[in-house]
């Protein structure tokens, strides 16, 4: 029986691979295959993440043999952070001094699974074209370029493995063609084993393990929203909304997340109470832009891995209903 499953897996790998190879004519098809391959294949590798001046090597093990996705991510440089995920459930282990903080989260798209399964949202905001073939981490990668149709997002470049379809590299760049964030495998292998012995954290018994403090994510009673964003940059739509109590803040903060399928922006609004120093101004840090403003007695902060124009427009077109 096991041999049968394995055989089927191998066949499906080949099928995916051939499809990716044949699809070189249609760049959207290459991206579609990349999105699928990142979730369906079982692979292990090391990639390097670069943002601003910082860089980190990350080891990823991803397995999917029909019963769902399992992944383990270990940050190899600096603090030995570890992430284990099963389906949409994610557990993060972050050593901090003498402790290890355990966080539970809902899953997010992460390299190499950065592309959404449905590309329709991306198609409305980006133009696509094929680039050349480049060798990355010992494998051949087909480059696909997504150029923004307006000034509200970065350019994205993806390199998909010619054989397996999986993303080998991804990069975002601003309008001056300066790299913003980059991920690139320098080692990648497909796994045929179904062993799950890798799916456990590396425990340091001398450290104390604690759950993250309960106050951090506590949701607050939802108040009626008295404002709206009048001119949301085109292509962005609301994907999440949460009102929560933040430690050290007397009033709840509302966070709204917008996404165009690739890029995402968060809008924070909270009442500006007496004694709070208002934040005003714009700043940038790596790929991230911030814009803070005070409107009708509210502190507004917009943050995202998007160009300055996007955060500025969202913050400046908030309209409070009287």
Partner 1 sequence: MKDQVSALVDEELSLEDSEYLYTAIRSSETLSDSWTTYHLIGDCMRGSPIFKSDLTDRIMQQLEQEPVVLAPKAKKAVYKTPTLWSVAASVAAVMFVGWMVLQQQVQTHGEAAPAEIAQNVASEYLLAHQSMAPSNSAYYIQPASYSESEK
Q: Tell me whether residue 42 or residue 172 sits nearer to partner 1 (CB atom).
A: 172
Out of 46, 242, 251, 295, name the contact with partner 1 by CB under 8 A.
242
- Taking the complex as a whole, the smallest distance from the CB of residue 15 to partner 1 amounts, in Å, to 27
Handedness of CA 120, 121, 125, 131 (dihedral sign): negative
Maximal C-alpha separation, the chain: 69
Quickly tell me which residue has 């007496």 as its tokens.
274
Kindly state whether residue 305 participates in binding partner 1, applying the rule CB under 8 A: yes
Residue in 87, 9, 81, 18 with CA at minimum distance from that of residue 43: 9
Q: Of these, 6, 24, 39, 56, which contacts partner 1 (CB under 8 A)? A: 56
Q: Round to whole Å and give the CA distance between 160 and 103.
A: 32
196 near partner 1, rule: CB under 8 A: no
Closer CB to partner 1, residue 21 or residue 116?
116
Verify binding: residue 118, partner 1, rule CB under 8 A.
Answer: no
Cβ atoms of residues 129 and 31 within 8 Å:
no
Strand partners, 130: 144
- Window contacting partner 1 (CB under 8 A); options: 28-36, 38-46, 84-92, 143-151: 84-92
Report 20-49 residues binding partner 1 (CB under 8 A): 49
266 binding partner 1? (CB under 8 A): yes
Contact mark string toward partner 1, 141..170, x via CB under 8 A: ------------------------------
Rounded Cα–Cα distance for residues 27 and 236 (Å): 22
294 binds partner 1 (CB under 8 A): no
> Any contact of residue 277 with partner 1 (CB under 8 A)?
yes
- State in angstroms the smallest separation of the CB of 64 from partner 1: 18
Q: CB of residue 58 vs partner 1: minimum separation in angstroms? A: 6
Angle at 20 between CA 15 and CA 25, to 5 degrees: 140
Cα 16 to Cα 29, 117, 119, 172: the distances in Å are 12, 15, 18, 26
């Amino acid at each position: 029986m096991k041999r049968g499953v394995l055989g089927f897996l191998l066949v499906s790998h080949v099928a995916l691979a051939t499809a990716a190879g044949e699809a070189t004519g249609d760049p959207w098809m290459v991206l579609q295959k990349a999105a699928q391959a990142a979730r369906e294949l079982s692979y292990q590798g090391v990639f390097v993440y670069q943002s601003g001046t910082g860089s980190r090597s990350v080891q990823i093990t991803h397995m999917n043999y029909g019963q769902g996705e399992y992944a383990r991510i270990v940050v190899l440089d600096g603090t030995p952070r570890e992430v284990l995920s099963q389906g949409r459930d994610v557990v993060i282990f972050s050593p901090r001094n003498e402790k290890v903080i355990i966080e539970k989260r809902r899953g997010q798209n992460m390299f190499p699974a950065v592309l959404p399964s449905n590309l329709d949202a991306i198609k409305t905001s980006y133009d696509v074209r094929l680039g050349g073939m480049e060798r990355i981490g010992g494998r051949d990668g087909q480059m696909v370029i997504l150029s923004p149709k307006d000034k509200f997002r970065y350019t994205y470049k993806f390199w998909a493995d010619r054989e397996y379809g999986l993303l080998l590299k991804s990069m975002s760049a601003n309008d001056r063609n300066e790299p913003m964030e980059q991920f690139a495998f320098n080692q990648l292998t497909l796994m045929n084993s179904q062993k799950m012995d890798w799916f456990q954290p590396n425990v340091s018994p001398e450290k104390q393990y604690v759950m993250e403090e309960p106050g951090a994510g506590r949701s607050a009673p939802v108040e009626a929203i008295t404002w709206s964003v009048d001119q949301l940059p085109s292509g962005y739509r609301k994907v999440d909304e949460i009102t929560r109590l933040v430690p050290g803040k007397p009033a709840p903060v509302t966070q709204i997340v917008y996404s165009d399928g690739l890029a995402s922006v968060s809008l924070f609004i909270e009442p500006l109470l007496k004694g709070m120093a208002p934040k005003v101004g714009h700043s940038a840090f790596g790929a991230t832009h911030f814009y803070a403003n005070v409107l009708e007695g509210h502190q507004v902060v917009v943050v995202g891995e998007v160009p300055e124009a996007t955060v500025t427009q969202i913050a400046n077109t908030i309209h409070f209903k009287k």
